[in-house]
Amino acid sequence: MYYIGVDLGGTNIAVGLVTREGSIVNKRSVPTGADRPFEEIFADMGKCTLALLDENGILADEVDCVGIGTPGTVDPDQGVLLYANNFKYGRNVPMRGLMQQYINKPVYLGNDANAAALGEVIAGAAKGVKNAVMVTLGTGVGGGIVIDGRVYEGQYSAAGEFGHIVLICGGEPCSCGRKGCWEAYASATALVRQTKEAMESHPESLMHRIVKEAGKVSGRTAFDAARQGDAAGQQVVDRYIFYIAEGLLDLINIFRPEVLIIGGGICNEGERLLNPLRAYLRANSYGEGLLPEQRLEVAKLGNDAGIIGAALMHA
């Protein structure tokens, strides 16, 4: 039997043919065109799925089910996307029914970040463990929870919104309407803001030259400056790592996962990010010295995690 996993992204729809063990036999993708009506988007998704089966000589009889990982909040029982703020179509989309017009199989819906966490547990950074938590540090901060090898979805697949736990009461405003959310301190967007603030108060910093050459402030600016010994850049990096670590410690205290997975472009900083993070977690974990050290790993599978996780959500 094969499982079809769909990662419905803002830019591309990726469809994969997945085995029960979690390997991708083959995959295809098609541009999402997120500002189109959802009927058109799902027509492309359906055709892409059929083409994938055809290309690999797989009959519909050999497919167990289809899983779709989508941004937003879903009603998994009804097979409906309730709300996704980054798609124009946004509300009450009958995703299951739309997909079943193309392939008449059970279709399951789940949140994309939850699916990615499951994918990393099945075949990636947390392979072989039962309990893991994944945090993605991107434009926002997202995440997923895996307990006993299954995604903990919560009501409407909306659990794991780690970006909106509050780190600093009354702190920086957040896109969700509250203040002081973790996302407002630990996302790549927040790092850019922190870098700009540091540049204003440190006209002598190397960051100015780096930005001039690169053309803009990015999540790399402060890390690049720190690498070259710039004190202001190092301060930004240290502070940012402190923000990430404090949030991770909260997650450790709630879930005590066997592995904590972090993803997002910032992970490209490698040991410069990971070493101080691990040291901070080690020094500040509850029960330090009594419990085994927390494993912190970088997500391995990229977009494939979402495909694998979506395919096997209900396997």
124 or 163: CB nearest Zn ion: 163
Listed ranges 39-47, 113-121, 161-169, 196-204: which one lies at the site for Zn ion (CB under 5 A): 161-169
Number of residues interacting with Zn ion: please give it, by CB under 5 A: 5
Amino acid identity, position 296: L
164 or 256: CB nearest Zn ion: 164
Site of tokens 């193309």: 102
Q: Taking CB under 5 A as the rule, does residue 141 contact Zn ion?
A: no
Among 1, 176, 231, 279, binds Zn ion (CB under 5 A): 176
Listed ranges 125-133, 163-171, 279-287, 290-298: which one lies at the site for Zn ion (CB under 5 A): 163-171
11 or 85: CB nearest Zn ion: 85
164 or 239: CB nearest Zn ion: 164
Give the nearest distance from C-beta 182 to Zn ion in angstroms: 8
102 or 162: CB nearest Zn ion: 162
Alpha helices by DSSP H, 106-230: 112-123, 183-186, 188-201, 207-214, 221-227
List of long-range contacts for 148-156, beta carbons under 8 Å, 24+ apart: 149/121, 150/118, 151/110, 151/114, 151/115, 151/117, 151/118, 151/309, 151/313, 153/76, 153/110, 153/111, 153/114, 156/73, 156/74, 156/75, 156/76, 156/82
Among 164, 196, 208, 256, binds Zn ion (CB under 5 A): 164
50 or 158: CB nearest Zn ion: 158
Q: Taking CB under 5 A as the rule, does residue 174 contact Zn ion?
A: yes
Q: Taking CB under 5 A as the rule, does residue 181 contact Zn ion?
A: yes
Give the nearest distance from C-beta 131 to Zn ion in angstroms: 26
Give the nearest distance from C-beta 247 to Zn ion in angstroms: 12
Give the nearest distance from C-beta 189 to Zn ion in angstroms: 12
Q: Which helix (H) or strand (E) holds 283?
A: helix 271-284
Listed ranges 104-112, 157-165, 274-282, 301-309: which one lies at the site for Zn ion (CB under 5 A): 157-165
Give the nearest distance from C-beta 75 to Zn ion in angstroms: 23
What b/e string do you get for 66-97 counting C-beta neighbours within 10 Å, with b at 16 or more? bbbbbbbbbbbeebbbbebeebebeeebebbe
Give the nearest distance from C-beta 191 to Zn ion in angstroms: 16
DSSP states of 27-66 as a string?
A: EEEEE--TTS-HHHHHHHHHHHHHHHHHHTT--GGGEEEE
Those residues with Cβ within 8 angstroms of residue 312's Cβ, 6 or more apart along the chain or in another chain: 3, 5, 18, 20, 22, 67, 118, 119, 122
Interface residue list for Zn ion (CB under 5 A) = 164, 174, 176, 178, 181
